Amino acid sequence: MISMLVCLFTILLFIIARKIHLTWPSPLLNPVLICIALISVLLLISGGSYDNYFQASMPIDWFLEPAVVALAYPLYQQYAYIKPVFMLLLVCTFAGISCSTVIAYTLCTLFNANDVLMSTMMALSVTTPITLLITESLGGMPSVAAAMVILIGVFGGVFGMHILTRLKITQPQAKGIALGVSCHAIGTAAAMEHHPLAGAFASAAMILSALISAFWVPVLFTILNHLNT
């Protein structure tokens, strides 16, 4: 009974946040960000425990894994776009992910971050559901990584296009790839708004970087750990 209420409340909150975001499509009004912030504040104020909330909202959580599998469908649809530039996309996503992981590793080492915190920061250049999976397999804090990824997306949604324009990058396809790799779903939304081609390439780059991250980030993390000791 309580579980049903908690699920209903979460779903309702998300639907309202989505409506708000559709009315004012600013990256700062990201629906997930609003929902997570509101539920967290409610839990902290009421003194409710997160474990109880998670137990109660399990039915919602169950859908996460099938939804990741379902990403095969847009990838299949965009395959026609990807095929002619597949090598370029591969190089771009590979470079972007490696750059993100190496910088995060270096910064964490400089700040003497502990192992758990370090593992949390390894897979930030990838869409949230994939971050959750990779961070969990590395022994980090999945929810912290998820929050970081969403905030990085918001940053990219707000500043991404300005940065790319400053770099004098003009092709919509290139802008799309950059936004898709660095700023995931929110970056893809910004690319979509800019130009349909940018949107298609951003979405393709985002899904490709999800796949590459899953294979490459754990390996790269092990390599960096070896180099460091």
CA angle 76, 68, 140 (to 5 degrees): 135
Cβ-proximal residues to 31 (8 Å cutoff; 6+ apart), any chain: 14, 17, 18, 20, 21
> Is residue 200 a contact point for another protein (CB under 8 A)?
no
Query: In the complex with another protein, which residue's Cβ is closer, 1 or 53?
Result: 53
Question: Considering only CA atoms, which of 67, 77, 75 is closest in space to residue 208?
Answer: 75
Residues 116-155 that bind another protein (CB under 8 A): 116-117, 121, 124-125, 128-130, 132-134, 136-137, 141-144, 146-148, 150-152, 155
Query: How many angstroms separate the CA atoms of 136 and 130, rounded?
Result: 10
Query: In the complex with another protein, which residue's Cβ is closer, 175 or 194?
Result: 175
Options 190, 208, 210, 220; binder of another protein; rule CB under 8 A: 210
Size, binding site for another protein by CB under 8 A:
99
Query: In the complex with another protein, which residue's Cβ is closer, 1 or 73?
Result: 73
Burial of residue 49 (CB within 10 Å: 0-12, 13-18, 19+) is: exposed
Query: In the complex with another protein, which residue's Cβ is closer, 96 or 199?
Result: 96
Residues 22-41 that bind another protein (CB under 8 A): 31-32, 35-36, 39-40
Contacts for 20-26 with beta carbons within 8 Å, 24 or more apart? 25/189, 25/193
Distances in Å between the Cα of 188 and the Cα atoms of 134, 198, 229 are: 21, 8, 38
Distances in Å between the Cα of 64 and the Cα atoms of 70, 130, 133 are: 10, 10, 10
Rounded to the nearest 10°, the torsion over CA 17, 19, 22, 26 is -20
Options 58, 86, 115, 223; binder of another protein; rule CB under 8 A: 58
The answer to whether the beta carbons of residues 176 and 197 sit under 8 Å apart is: yes
CB of 80 to another protein, least distance (A): 12
Residues 158-177 that bind another protein (CB under 8 A): 159-160, 163-164, 167, 169-171, 173-175, 177
CB of 229 to another protein, least distance (A): 20
Binding to another protein by CB under 8 A, coded x per residue (else -) over 71-110, reads: xxxxxxx-x----xx--x--xxx-xx--xx--xx--xx--
Options 65, 80, 139, 225; binder of another protein; rule CB under 8 A: 65
For the chain, the maximum distance between any two Cα atoms, rounded to a whole number of angstroms, is 56
